A and B are shown apart, each in its own frame.
Chain A
Amino acid sequence: MKDQENQKADTNKASGLSRRGLIKGAASASVAAVGSGAITGFPMVWAQNIKNVTLRQFGTGVSNLNAIADKCKEELGFNLQLTSLDSDSVTQRAVTQPKSYDIADIEYWICKKVFPSGVMQPLDTSRLKNYDKISPLFITGKLTEDSEIAQGTAPHTVGFVESQSSKKFAKSPTNWMTLIPTIYNADTLGIRPDLVGRPITQWSDIMDPAFKGKTSILNIPSIGIMDAAMICESMGIIKYGDKGNMTKKEIDATMKVLMDAKKAGQFRAFWKSFDESVNLMASGEVVIQSMWSPAVAAVRSRSIPCVYQPLKEGYRAWGGGLGLASHLSGLELDAAYEYIDWYLSGWVGAYLNRQGYYSAAPETSKAFMSDDEWGFWIEGKEAKGDILSPSGDVMEKAGSRRDGGSYWDRMGNIACWNSVMDENKYMVRKWNEFIVS
């Protein structure tokens, strides 16, 4: 039985490789011919087969963008079917309905939960041309040689497994990657500068009695607990061993701080989805809250001032990537590799950069952005002209600067990654109690 399976896998691999060889040839030929528009050369070779391929990708709304599916169809020739869900539903679906998707677009902390259940297969990094373009943040965990590795589920700790059939995360980079990183960012608190009435400099400012009834945090336990930990640490109440992997005692202490604040009426609401956070902020119900970068942009696009405030303790970071469902094989698997390689090749990266996220392969995306765009989004420079969103609306006026500064200022100042803890079950119960209390 096992031998048979292995054999099957081998033949798949063999045919995949030979097909890939062809494509590589075609690609390099078209590189020579067309230059920068190289990727358009791809579908020619296997256009007949690949047209019928549809890859079903699902994930959180952040990177499940129709523009990417359209571009994929245009450049690679096959269809990409996207489904967007919230983080909880993504985890749920990834585990309980593995046959319902081909590509999972999930966050690293979700991967830590999902991958060991065997519903996904690791990716062979040698099949990806752009593998060495991936930011070292996802390979070694260090943005630069001398940067420190942040707490929490840092992507590189769950980024590799020991072998193709292994479900165990490897300690150091191997040839088998669980997720190919695509998107990440550094999160902090959003504020209404016109309503807070004083400079906001640290996480604990959200607990200032002056903002009683005007604050909110997000109700997704694995992320909310991190924001809570940043707040407690900043208040000087708790000192954590590892915020990303708390002990029961630390969880209890954190929850007590939150519950007391809730009883005292510090919070106006808890939000669970992106648009809830936008509405809370835009309507003035809250003036300081946990927020995601595009939500800040959405508030600002309504001409309401909103700042993604850098804080002295640093950022809470998150990262997501694409993984393969374990049932994927043959032509679909080849298409999936092709797609993921294309994802890293620059166009998508530039698209994501323009939304305020970061591309996992920064250097490839540079070619797809103007100098001014690159300067504004990545280098933290003053915008020379208006900065447009991917859909062409003005996001930032000329002369503005990105909150928090450059890529290196922001991603180099991570205090903690979104994570899932060993005491996850306990934490979730406690979190539930906090929400209900």
Chain B
Amino acid sequence: MNNPTICLNARPIDAYMTTLINKTNIRSYWQALPLTLVLFLFLVFPIIVIGIVSFWDYNEYSIIPDFILDNYEFLLTSPVTWQAYLKTFKYAFLTWLLTLSIGFTVAYFMAFHIRSTAAQTILFLICTVPFLTSNIIRMISWIPLLGRNGLVNSGLQSAGIIDQPLEFLLYSDFAIVLAYVHLYTLFMVTPVFNSMMRIDRSLIEAAIDAGAKPFQILKDVIIPLSKSGIIVGSIFVFTLVMGDFVTVKIMGGGIRANVAILIYNEISLLQYPSAAAGAIILLITVIMMLVILFRLVDIRKEL
């Protein structure tokens, strides 16, 4: 018999709560408006334009509004596209594997072997030092090192280890992946280090008390708990490698190509519609990869 009174009392509170929620909702919509506008103007709108242009026709010097599927047809049926995607995935996978192993090791060392916070901060700052120079400069500085008559080859030759200069060092897949790892490892270190610092140290103590071996601690405690950092780092590395063309252009000597190079070539030859089609397909590919990665971890919960 008490129920009706509660209900009666509850109703105005309910109503009050709803208006309150609505009010904050409206207020938060206002707060989100500037960012929404910026994103719409500079992200959504350009992508829509690219999408539209990808159906247009073109000749040597102009693009012609039209609705044709030629650009996509040529793109999706050309073996070159598939080769380029294969290459891109190869670069992305190798870079991811290497940046993950290096990044994880570095982050682990900083998080668990360095005791003082000051030392951790200093070491982390040292990691970022290379980023004080432009990434083009960092890339180009590899060239005199790796060239046929470069430091590495002449060093090895004068030490008598090799007779012929190693050709694969420069203008090769090796050089490209090397540059990627050099450029992007920090993007892995930072999020992994961040999530490792949040791990409650008493969990590790508990694991030790329960008789876990060091490897078991790593496998069953640290890796699962730094998963969000690993995923965030992987997202950074994957998206950066998938969309990059400068590294491939410089370290590949113009002789290697990935998807972005394909698009870059088309843009420089005024073939905007086919470049737009290439960009749309690349975008879809990257989004699909991100969806898979986000499935593995709930970023919002973990951060």
Residues of A with Cβ closer than 8 Å to B? 88-89, 91-92, 95, 113-114, 116-117, 213, 219, 221, 262, 267-272, 276, 279, 283-285, 420, 424-425, 428-429, 432-433, 435-437
Contacts and interface: CB of A to CB of B under 8 A. Distances in A.
Contacts of B84: 436
Interface string B278-300: 00000000000000000000000
Interface residues of B, number: 29
A116 B61 contact: yes
A88 B268 contact: yes
B70 to A, nearest CB: 11
Contacts of B60: 113, 420, 424-425
B59 A433 contact: no
Given A436-B80, A436-B257, 9 more contacts: A268-B171, A268-B253, A269-B171, A283-B149, A285-B170, A285-B171, A432-B266, A435-B257, A435-B265
B265 A432 contact: yes
B90 to A, nearest CB: 14
B137 to A, nearest CB: 15
Contact of B148 (A267, A272, A283, A424): A283
Contacts of A213: 167
Contacts of A424: 60
A437 B171 contact: no
A284 B253 contact: no
A284 B148 contact: yes
A270 B254 contact: yes
B265 A91 contact: no
B83 A436 contact: yes
B147 interface: yes
A424 B59 CA distance: 9
Contact of B254 (A219, A221, A425): A219
8 contacts: A268-B253, A276-B254, A279-B143, A285-B147, A425-B60, A432-B269, A435-B257, A436-B265
Nearest to A119: B61
A435 B78 CA distance: 14
Interface of B: 59-62, 74, 78, 80, 83-84, 143-144, 147-149, 167, 170-171, 253-255, 257, 261-262, 265-266, 268-271
Contact of A267 (B61, B78, B255, B271): B255
Most interface-central of A88, A114, A432 (chain B CB within 10 A) = A432
Contacts of A433: 78, 80
A225 B235 CA distance: 40
Contacts of B148: 283-285
A360 B62 CA distance: 31
Nearest to A221: B269
B74 A429 contact: yes
A91 B61 contact: yes
A269 B61 contact: no
Given A91-B270, A92-B270, A284-B148, A271 B61 contact: no
A262 B256 CA distance: 10
Shortest 4 CB-CB distances between A and B: which pairs? A269-B253, A270-B254, A436-B257, A88-B268
Contacts of B268: 88-89, 92
Given A113-B60, A219-B254, A269-B255, A437 B149 contact: no
B265 A95 contact: no
A95 B270 contact: yes
A267 B148 CA distance: 14
Contacts of A425: 59-60, 271
A271 B147 contact: no
Contacts of B83: 436-437
Contacts of A435: 254-255, 257, 261, 265
Contacts of A114: 61
Contacts of B61: 91, 95, 113-114, 116-117
A261 B254 CA distance: 15
Nearest to A430: B80
A200 B212 CA distance: 71
A159 B264 CA distance: 31
Contacts of A432: 80, 262, 265-266, 269
B171 A88 contact: no
Nearest to A110: B61
Contacts of B271: 425, 428
A353 to B, nearest CB: 31
A284 B144 CA distance: 11
Contacts of B167: 213
B80 to A, nearest CB: 4
B270 A269 contact: no
Contacts of B74: 429
Nearest to B171: A269
A268 B265 contact: no
Contacts of A420: 60
B242 to A, nearest CB: 16
A213 B271 CA distance: 31
A114 to B, nearest CB: 6
A56 to B, nearest CB: 20
A289 B61 CA distance: 30
A112 to B, nearest CB: 9
Nearest to B84: A436
Nearest to A219: B254
B22 to A, nearest CB: 49
Contact of B255 (A91, A262, A279): A262
A48 B102 CA distance: 68
Contacts of B261: 435-436
**Residue with the greatest number of chain B CB neighbours at <10 A, chosen from A117, A221, A429:** A429
A262 B171 CA distance: 13
Among B61, B84, B149, the most chain A Cβ lie within 10 Å of the Cβ of B61
A269 B146 CA distance: 14
A91 B255 CA distance: 24
A60 to B, nearest CB: 14
A433 B270 CA distance: 16
A262 B84 CA distance: 16
A304 to B, nearest CB: 12
A221 B270 CA distance: 12
A269 B254 contact: yes
Nearest to B60: A113
Contacts of A429: 74
A279 B149 CA distance: 12
A303 B268 CA distance: 34
A271 B254 contact: yes
Contacts of B270: 88, 91-92, 95
Nearest to A270: B254
A423 B152 CA distance: 45
A283 B147 contact: yes
B157 to A, nearest CB: 13
Interface centre among B60, B78, B170, B261 (most CB of A within 10 A): B60
